[in-house]
């Protein structure tokens, strides 16, 4: 039995197909949804969504905030603020964005809680993108010049 999985952002439908399982980052922790799962609505947090296809292949998608809905144990809809498939991501661009976000966070720590929180949220999104891109590269056997744990 498969699950119809649909991942939508305000700009586009990122993914819509049958899957065997979906692992998603929620505010309460990571959850894996299998066929016949109970109905559920949950808040999505930045991270990597892992989609297992019926052929056994795995797809990782970097997602940011949003919502998850599971209906009848056979349909999952994710409404994400942003979402990018592994093959769409460039490690070099992400590394630059991550460095900028870290620098801004250092500046904002004294500027106030709201500025710092915005910077922290941006960094969390970049880290999710980085993780998805690294997993995609590893799975495809693509060599990277960046160390997986430090990004250097």
User: Residues 115, 103: one domain?
Assistant: yes
User: Residues 103, 75: one domain?
Assistant: no
> Terminus-to-terminus CA distance in the chain, angstroms?
42
pLDDT band at 78 (very low <50, low <70, confident <90, very high): very high
User: Residues 11, 69: one domain?
Assistant: yes
Yes or no: say if 75 and 4 are a contact pair by the CB < 8 Å rule: yes
User: Residues 37, 77: one domain?
Assistant: yes
| Averaged pLDDT for residues 72-88 | 89
pLDDT, tens digit (0-9, with 9 covering 90-100), for 27-69 = 999 999 999 999 999 999 998 999 999 999 999 898 988 999 9
Yes or no: say if 7 and 63 are a contact pair by the CB < 8 Å rule: yes
Q: Report d(CA 139, CA 119) in Å as an integer.
A: 30
pLDDT band at 148 (very low <50, low <70, confident <90, very high): very low
Yes or no: say if 7 and 14 are a contact pair by the CB < 8 Å rule: yes
pLDDT, tens digit (0-9, with 9 covering 90-100), for 61-75 = 989 889 999 999 899
- Assess if residue 24 is contained within a domain: yes
Q: CA–CA distance from 123 to each of 117, 132, 148 (Å)?
A: 10, 14, 17
Yes or no: say if 82 and 125 are a contact pair by the CB < 8 Å rule: yes
User: What is the model's pTM?
Assistant: 0.68
Beta strands in 74-137 (DSSP E): 75-80, 83-85
Q: Report d(CA 43, CA 25) in Å as an integer.
A: 9
- Assess if residue 149 is contained within a domain: no
Asked if pLDDT for residue 141 goes beyond 80, the answer is no
Which residue, of 68, 85, 102, is where some domain finishes?
Answer: 85
User: Residues 10, 42: one domain?
Assistant: yes
Which residue, of 61, 85, 109, is where some domain finishes?
Answer: 85
DSSP H or E segment with residue 70: strand 66-71
pLDDT given for residue 117 in this prediction: 67
Q: Which residue has the tokens 């690294």?
A: 134
Note down the domain range covering 46: 3-85
- Assess if residue 145 is contained within a domain: no
Measure CA 4 to chain center: 18
Which residue, of 41, 57, 85, is where some domain finishes?
Answer: 85
Count of domains observed in the chain:
2
Q: 113 vs 36, which has greater pLDDT? A: 36
């Amino acid at each position: 039995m498969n699950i119809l999985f649909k991942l939508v952002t305000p700009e586009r439908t990122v993914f819509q197909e049958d899957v065997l399982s979906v692992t998603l980052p929620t505010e309460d922790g990571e959850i894996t949804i299998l066929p016949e799962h109970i109905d559920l609505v949950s808040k999505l947090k930045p991270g990597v969504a892992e989609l297992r296809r019926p052929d056994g292949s795995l797809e990782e998608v970097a997602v940011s905030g949003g919502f998850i809905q599971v209906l009848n144990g056979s349909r999952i809809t994710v409404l994400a603020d942003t979402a990018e498939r592994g093959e769409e991501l460039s490690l070099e661009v992400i590394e630059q964005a991550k460095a900028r976000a870290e620098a801004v966070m250092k500046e904002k720590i004294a500027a106030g809680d709201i500025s710092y929180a915005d910077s922290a949220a941006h960094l969390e999104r970049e880290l999710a993108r980085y993780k998805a891109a690294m997993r995609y590269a590893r799975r495809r056997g693509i060599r990277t010049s960046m160390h997986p744990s430090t990004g250097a």
